[in-house]
């Protein structure tokens, strides 16, 4: 067996800084919008992950270079042929109700519960043959074929552990325990006052000695971005997770006394802003029209003015911040004349296109207006269709749009977070997430399948380079920005971001300097 990682907890420099941690205190964090649920095995949207990532855990965490780190698994091995993953679990771990956590919980969580409830993980589990528990503290995954990205799926939002003794044999979606979530994490669910706050308290029986350091956490629901900024200014909240306030407020808030910020903690997600372009009908069904949209956009302006420099122009479906990116593609720098030429080749007759902004605040509305202006400059007529979150979800899920803003996470590997947006097998009404554009290319499908199981990093890079060249030429979506969401917090809050998913699992390590 090849020993990938065996470490004592004391070796984890990120999680255990040199200075002594002060115990105690309360942390107030903004969560927006309010989560629809805290049952992480059923719901994986951003707000749910932010709160539930401290209630639930998985086998691993990931540092900011995407290297796996211990969580419920203290060590693990991958066989030389990549066909067997063996995880050695911490002993003495209990669920929040006091029941012991064992390898049987892992087998149930992954092989039964999440296979049914977690569409994104289900894709990765297609490569898994069996999951077994030879003893209470060992779990063995046997693969059908080598799958290099597999070591990257063991974080809480992708593979949360759920208690077998509560969910086995039940209707998962309607289990009463969904309202009072029970995990193994550093904090336990206490109370949820809808529209106001979610209260978590310290898990006194947590398996890491001395952790967590905080006594309690309040996730504050404040619907308006301006009010969230004021609450931070007034000291009502201590942490503004990325995206909590409008971009133009970031500079002002970070210039206040005792205020710190960081762009770290998004490496695993690598949020990629793009606009679905309807490949099925209307002007956007024409490839030359879609290329004209790319050349029309002034994405540098968007980055510098609308996003206040928090981002990088996206040049590919793969983020430059994750693995297997290439810049050997068409760049689509703004070129008004080129856009006009392509519109002429497309035979565009002036039919208006509908732009659907993301209903996550004024920044996205301004972005849609900037796109509308850019399109007008090259001769494309358009209208911005404003919606709320429910309407935005419905219009995308029903393919009722021409151009629709979104951003998706990349999860550290194209096989996990990129392929889903372009595989023809993912074209299905009802989902606002996977291949909403309706792009279908059998050659690209085949290349994605080959790249996922290629035996070496070099072989995977070669295939993903070809995929990116093809996609950037077909331009099924408009790639916009590799967006950055700075986390803003009081400087006396220490070790808030210690992993590649940031605040979502950061409260295990966080403490307040007294």
- Dump pLDDT digits (tens) for 55-94: 999 999 999 989 999 999 999 999 999 999 999 999 999 9
Report, as an integer, the average pLDDT of 324-353. Answer: 97
The CA distance from 57 to 71, in Å, is: 7
Q: Are 408 and 317 in contact (CB under 8 A)?
A: no
Q: Tens digit of pLDDT for each residue in 2-59?
A: 444 444 333 343 444 445 788 999 999 999 889 999 999 999 888 999 999 999 999 9
Q: Tell me the HSE value of 306 on the side-chain side, using a 13 A CA sphere.
A: 22
Q: Please give the pLDDT value at position 232.
A: 97
Give the number of other Cβ atoms within 10 Å of residue 43's Cβ.
17
Tell me which of 167-171, 448-452, 453-457 is least confident. Answer: 453-457
pLDDT of residue 422: 96
Two structure tokens written together for 188: 């336990």
Average pLDDT, the chain: 93
- List the one residue out of 496, 76, 10 whose CA is nearest residue 208: 10
Does position 145 have pLDDT exceeding 50, yes or no? Answer: yes
Q: Do residues 394 and 427 touch, judged by C-beta distance below 8 A?
A: no
pLDDT at 180 > cutoff 60: yes
At 499, the pLDDT band (50, 70, 90 cuts) reads very high
pLDDT of residue 343: 98
**CA 461, chain centre distance (Å):** 22
Position 247 confidence tier, pLDDT thresholds 50, 70, 90: confident
* pLDDT range class, residue 227, cuts 50, 70, 90: very high
- 481 bridge partner residues: 273, 313
| 3-state DSSP helix/strand/coil % of the chain, to nearest 5 | 35, 20, 45
Burial per residue of 258-281, b for 16 or more beta-carbon CB atoms within 10 angstroms, e otherwise: ebebeebbbbbbbbbbbbbbbbee
Distance (Å, rounded) from C-alpha 485 to C-alpha 363? 12
Cβ-in-10-Å burial (0-12, 13-18, 19+) of 457 comes to exposed
Q: What is the pLDDT of residue 15?
A: 43
The pLDDT of residue 13: 39
Q: What is the pTM of this model?
A: 0.84
What are the backbone angles phi and psi of residue 268, rounded to the nearest 5°?
Answer: -70, -40
pLDDT for 19 = 59
pLDDT in tens, 361-375: 889 999 999 999 999
The CA dihedral of 433, 114, 321, 256, to the nearest 10 degrees, is: 90
% of the chain with per-residue pLDDT over 70: 96
Residue 404: per-residue pLDDT: 96
pLDDT of residue 514: 87
**Distance from C-alpha of 487 to C-alpha of 156, rounded to nearest angstrom:** 20
Model confidence band, residue 266 (pLDDT cutoffs 50, 70, 90): very high
- Cβ-based burial of 234 (10 A; exposed 0-12, middle 13-18, buried ≥19): exposed
pLDDT at 17: 44
Task: Express each pLDDT in 383-442 by its tens digit.
Answer: 999 898 889 889 998 999 999 999 999 998 999 999 999 999 989 888 777 899 999 999
Q: What pLDDT does 165 receive? A: 98
């Amino acid at each position: 067996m090849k020993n990938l990682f065996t470490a004592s907890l004391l070796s984890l420099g990120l999680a255990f800084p040199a200075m002594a941690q002060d115990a105690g205190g309360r942390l107030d964090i903004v969560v927006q919008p309010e989560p629809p649920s805290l049952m992480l095995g059923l719901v994986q949207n951003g707000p749910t992950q932010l709160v539930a990532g401290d209630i639930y855990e998985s086998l691993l965490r990931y540092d900011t270079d995407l290297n796996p780190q211990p969580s419920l698994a203290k060590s693990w091995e991958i066989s030389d042929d990549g066909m067997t993953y063996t995880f050695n679990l911490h002993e003495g771990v209990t669920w929040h109700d006091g029941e012991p956590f064992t390898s049987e919980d892992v087998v149930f969580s992954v092989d039964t519960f999440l296979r049914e409830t977690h569409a994104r993980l289900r894709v990765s589990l297609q490569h898994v043959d069996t999951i077994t528990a030879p003893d209470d503290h060992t779990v063995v995954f046997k693969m059908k074929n080598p799958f290099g990205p597999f070591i990257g799926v063991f974080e809480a939002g992708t593979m949360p552990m759920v208690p077998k003794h509560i969910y086995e044999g039940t209707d998962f979606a309607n289990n009463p325990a969904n309202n009072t979530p029970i995990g193994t994490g550093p904090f336990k669910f206490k109370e949820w006052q809808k529209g106001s706050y979610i209260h978590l308290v310290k898990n006194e029986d947590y398996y890491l000695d001395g952790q967590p350091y905080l006594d309690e956490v309040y996730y504050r629901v404040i619907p308006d971005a301006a009010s969230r900024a004021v609450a931070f200014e007034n000291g009502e909240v201590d942490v503004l997770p990325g995206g909590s306030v409008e971009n133009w407020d970031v500079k002002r808030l970070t210039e206040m006394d005792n205020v710190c910020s960081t762009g770290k903690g998004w490496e695993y997600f690598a949020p990629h802003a793009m606009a679905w372009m309807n490949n099925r009908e209307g002007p956007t069904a024409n490839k030359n029209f879609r290329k004209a949209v790319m050349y029309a956009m002034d994405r540098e302006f968007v980055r510098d003015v609308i996003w206040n420099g928090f981002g990088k122009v996206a040049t590919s479906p793969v983020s430059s911040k994750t693995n297997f990116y290439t810049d050997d593609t068409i760049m689509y720098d703004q070129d008004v004349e080129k856009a006009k030429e392509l519109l002429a080749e497309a035979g565009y007759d002036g039919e208006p296109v509908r732009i659907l902004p993301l209903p996550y605040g004024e920044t996205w509305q301004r972005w849609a207006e900037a796109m509308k202006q850019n399109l007008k400059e090259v001769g494309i007529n358009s209208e911005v269709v404003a919606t709320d979150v429910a309407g935005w979800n419905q219009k995308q899920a029903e393919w009722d749009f021409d151009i629709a803003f979104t951003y998706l996470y990349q999860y550290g590997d194209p096989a996990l977070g990129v392929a889903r947006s372009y595989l023809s097998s993912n074209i299905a009404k009802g989902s606002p997430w996977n291949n909403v554009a309706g792009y279908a290319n059998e050659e690209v499908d085949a290349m994605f399948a080959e790249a996922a199981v290629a035996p070496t990093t070099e072989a995977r890079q070669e295939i993903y380079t070809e995929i990116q060249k093809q996609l950037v030429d077909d331009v099924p979506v408009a790639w916009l920005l590799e967006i950055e969401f700075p986390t803003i917090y009081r400087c006396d809050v220490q070790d808030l971001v210690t992993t590649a998913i940031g605040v979502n699992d950061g409260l295990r390590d966080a403490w307040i300097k007294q």
